[in-house]
Chains A and B, each alone.
Chain A
């Protein structure tokens, strides 16, 4: 380009893309305005540990760029700001930017963080909508035992969730909220743990949970065909429950009963050497005689 570089550029968004764009433009001589809605630049990458595919440390890439952006003579940072209006056409835009008040003198603030620590109404910066958790007397009774057992103990969440799961056979939302309050654990953590493990479900389960083993031995002996047969017979896909809440269909990685492969487990009854042709019979045996359910072929008595 022979022409003299003229004019200025507005980059909207101070994430890694915005920062890089602003730096490249500024290095080639443009005056850059970098507008960011949040109080600081950095965006999502500042919250990451590693980046794909090289697993490089995210902050190690980002931090030097943050510093250069802040110090670059050609870049003007406009944080806490939003674009209100944009007029004109390519080459000649007029933008009006609304800068929200920061209530801190930016020219003097060193970012030491002391005021944050000392602010008595600190939590009010991110107001959390308080959800009142109300439990029935029966639930309260159950919870009381769990709370007294695990309160102020380290590493109590997973055992507590196990206990809840045994009582309800799933993890009800209001109970999780209650536990989070009482054990003083962030709800996000409770949710993360509750959804991480296969043993927990946030939805009520059917009366009978049919678990088809998909361990390697069961797979090579036709486990997936058994799953398909159950799906057809119950009219639901794996991971769902029938509408009448009778049967839930799930797969499990391995019951460690490979000698009996393929294996199907209904609640706590284990059926070995199972065949796809036995599916209708099994479903029938559980739906017809609720009191004395279970088949005569290979009946189980494994109780926890």
Chain B
């Protein structure tokens, strides 16, 4: 049946968390009330739009987008737009500068510069219905490969495309496949790494939630190319919705004969299994991931032998990241030449980033390689909220580093990012504003890596603890002359002596912060000052008597009884009782609570 209007309602984890399913029920009710069931259908899609502005709804073919939907808005919306054909301006995206509502999805700056390859079906299909995926060329590449290409041709095509591993290290995918194909041994395995442990990254979750079949199709093609017939998708247990969609996708594909025995009658069989991780960052490392699937203690081992030679159950295994697999079908469909024309000299194609942190338009972004960070932050991201000043972009999570203001014109590309002290990583991009203390930020990453270190290599286990101790001391105002140099020395030693990626990169956040924000470390050590007013031991809270209206809100909220004052008279904070929780500052409407340096020199 043909519908005149399709309502693409985002039902990713984030939108669901803010009530997308309630909105869905309400819209259904309203459509029924107006007897529009035969004309309008709701399609639940995955990660369609700006994640901070959920729940979001895109009305097709009008190309109109609505944001921040509430149940109460629905009757009005259905009546005005769907019945009378008048889009509701008050629910649209407001341009941050002109303050005019923007009606069409593709006119919104966040969308304009994106180029969707990996996320080609984002917001266009119901991920739980394979038919919709097939209608948009899903599994066409698999058919093409099985009917008309030899495994060698497939590998050559991927090699020619210049596709590099999207998991972080950027190893050429075609070469990886070639090595695995050449190794003798049977059976062979393909593995999809969906153990997206980097804090601040949600690309893999979103790709799977939006289009699980893209991953499955890519894996099937890869399996054909290297000669495997079984695959595992190792996914984080923290992503229940993605797991559900993936499991359903596998069942549906099996029903259609697109997975399983003798696919499309071409004599090729491929079976995919979902394997749930259990919350260990180190399992993102390939050898550790394989050990985890084997139910062995998930500690990384030395390479060589590489997984391509001896991987899962000591058989040749090819591991790629979710995003890498999702690119494969597009390359086969449209050709290596088309793909290699996108991007820069060394980095081809597009990259999905999860833009988050102190930024107006946080969300999932797919851009061609080579785009500058400035475009990412200001054009796509829409700048920093609340008029704050931009400070840095953190790229690559706990393995990456910070990129300061001065390097914003850096094009995004594996090599250039490395030169700047960061890494491409899996694509987590967290923007921080002037209220973030870089010492504290570096400490945050070390707390994480110290906690997640599996403990096998002493350098990583003890090295991270030692660095954390120094950083903690610095943030407490007990930093000493020579600490910075020692941190650098220790950081390099940990890098060299550790076995796996976790240990080899854990000092990056500290080293890059030292590279670009050395003055902040020095301010902490020499002058006992925290320029961003974050480190509790170096700041004091006080109330500006000129601004305080004496409303008493802070007094009521203070958990430490550190505030005194009479109603309608300026209040005061007793520094000896204050625990610096910041509740008073949050609750003050007059912005009278101010931060000062504790040791004013």
- Say if A and B assemble together: yes
Binding site for B on A (CB under 8 A): 49-55, 154-159, 161-162, 189, 192-193, 196-200, 214-222, 225, 228-229, 232, 252-261, 263, 268, 270-272, 275-277, 298-304
> Closest 10 interchain pairs by CB?
A259-B51, A216-B200, A198-B279, A52-B458, A258-B356, A197-B278, A256-B202, A304-B240, A270-B17, A157-B295
9 additional A-B pairs beyond A220-B432, A258-B202, beta carbons within 8 Å, are A55-B499, A155-B294, A197-B278, A216-B200, A216-B430, A216-B445, A220-B436, A257-B202, A272-B14
Q: Would A259 and B358 count as touching, CB distance under 8 A?
A: no
Q: Would A225 and B197 count as touching, CB distance under 8 A?
A: no
Chain A proximity of B537: nearest CB distance (Å):
15
Contacts of B436 in A (CB 8 A): 220
Task: Determine which of B200, B456, B458 lies in contact with A215 in the assembled complex, contact meaning CB atoms within 8 Å.
Answer: B200
**Which residue on B lies nearest to A303, using beta carbons?**
B240
Q: Given A53-B458, A260-B14, are A217 and B278 also a contact pair (CB < 8 Å)?
A: no
B441: CB under 8 A from chain A?
Answer: yes
Cα–Cα distance between A231 and B459 once the two chains are bound (Å): 33
In the complex, number of A-B residue pairs with CB atoms less than 8 Å apart:
198
B50: CB under 8 A from chain A?
Answer: yes
Residues B482-514 near A (CB distance < 8 A): 493, 497-499
Q: Would B280 and A197 count as touching, CB distance under 8 A?
A: yes
Query: What would 28 A/B residue contacts be, using CB atoms closer than 8 Å?
Result: A51-B458, A53-B493, A154-B294, A155-B293, A155-B294, A159-B276, A161-B278, A189-B297, A199-B279, A214-B199, A216-B444, A217-B199, A222-B582, A232-B581, A257-B13, A258-B201, A258-B428, A258-B430, A259-B54, A260-B14, A261-B356, A261-B357, A270-B17, A272-B17, A276-B583, A302-B241, A304-B243, A304-B244
Q: Would B278 and A158 count as touching, CB distance under 8 A?
A: yes
Q: Would A256 and B239 count as touching, CB distance under 8 A?
A: yes
Q: Would A229 and B358 count as touching, CB distance under 8 A?
A: no
**Which residue on B lies nearest to A257, using beta carbons?**
B14
Contacts of A268 in B (CB 8 A): 240
Task: Determine which of B196, B197, B275, B357 lies in contact with A221 in the assembled complex, contact meaning CB atoms within 8 Å.
Answer: B357
Cα–Cα distance between A216 and B493 once the two chains are bound (Å): 25
Contacts of A301 in B (CB 8 A): 16, 19, 21-22
Q: Would A50 and B17 count as touching, CB distance under 8 A?
A: no
Cα–Cα distance between A165 and B281 once the two chains are bound (Å): 20
Cα–Cα distance between A197 and B289 once the two chains are bound (Å): 12
Residues B533-568 near A (CB distance < 8 A): 557, 559
Contacts of B123 in A (CB 8 A): none
Chain B proximity of A132: nearest CB distance (Å):
26
Instruction: Pick the most buried of B243, B294, B436, B583: most chain A CB atoms within 10 A of its CB.
Output: B583
Residue-wise, chain B 212-250 has the 8 Å CB interface mask toward A (1 for contact) of: 000000000000000000000000111111011000000
Cα–Cα distance between A299 and B18 once the two chains are bound (Å): 6
Q: Would A253 and B295 count as touching, CB distance under 8 A?
A: no
Contacts of B205 in A (CB 8 A): 256
Q: Given A215-B199, A302-B241, are A55 and B356 also a contact pair (CB < 8 Å)?
A: no
Contacts of B236 in A (CB 8 A): 256
Contacts of A298 in B (CB 8 A): 17-19
Contacts of B458 in A (CB 8 A): 50-53
Task: Determine which of A55, A214, A253, A270 lies in contact with B13 in the assembled complex, contact meaning CB atoms within 8 Å.
Answer: A270
**Which residue on A lies nearest to B313, using beta carbons?**
A154
Q: Would A254 and B199 count as touching, CB distance under 8 A?
A: yes
B410: CB under 8 A from chain A?
Answer: no
Chain B proximity of A252: nearest CB distance (Å):
7
Cα–Cα distance between A156 and B277 once the two chains are bound (Å): 13
Q: Would A302 and B278 count as touching, CB distance under 8 A?
A: no
B46: CB under 8 A from chain A?
Answer: no
B113: CB under 8 A from chain A?
Answer: no
Contacts of A257 in B (CB 8 A): 13-14, 17, 51, 202
Q: Given A217-B356, A232-B559, are A302 and B13 also a contact pair (CB < 8 Å)?
A: yes
**Which residue on B lies nearest to A213, using beta carbons?**
B199
B457: CB under 8 A from chain A?
Answer: yes
Task: Determine which of B196, B278, B363, B452 lies in contact with A200 in the assembled complex, contact meaning CB atoms within 8 Å.
Answer: B278
Cα–Cα distance between A232 and B52 once the two chains are bound (Å): 29
Chain B proximity of A158: nearest CB distance (Å):
5
Q: Given A196-B298, A277-B587, are A162 and B51 also a contact pair (CB < 8 Å)?
A: no
Q: Given A216-B356, A220-B357, A253-B281, are A271 and B199 also a contact pair (CB < 8 Å)?
A: no
B586: CB under 8 A from chain A?
Answer: yes
Cα–Cα distance between A159 and B3 once the two chains are bound (Å): 44
Chain A proximity of B448: nearest CB distance (Å):
6
Residues B344-358 near A (CB distance < 8 A): 354, 356-358
Q: Would B199 and A221 count as touching, CB distance under 8 A?
A: no
Contacts of A255 in B (CB 8 A): 13, 238
Q: Would A216 and B397 count as touching, CB distance under 8 A?
A: yes
**Which residue on B lies nearest to A197, using beta carbons?**
B278
Residue-wise, chain B 558-590 has the 8 Å CB interface mask toward A (1 for contact) of: 010000000000000000000001110011000
Chain A proximity of B447: nearest CB distance (Å):
9
Cα–Cα distance between A303 and B21 once the two chains are bound (Å): 12
Q: Would A217 and B430 count as touching, CB distance under 8 A?
A: yes
**Which residue on B lies nearest to A261, using beta carbons?**
B356
Task: Determine which of A197, A220, A225 lies in contact with B441 in the assembled complex, contact meaning CB atoms within 8 Å.
Answer: A220
Task: Determine which of A193, A219, A263 lies in contact with B444 in the assembled complex, contact meaning CB atoms within 8 Å.
Answer: A219
Task: Determine which of A49, A217, A271 lies in contact with B357 in the assembled complex, contact meaning CB atoms within 8 Å.
Answer: A217
Q: Would B198 and A158 count as touching, CB distance under 8 A?
A: no
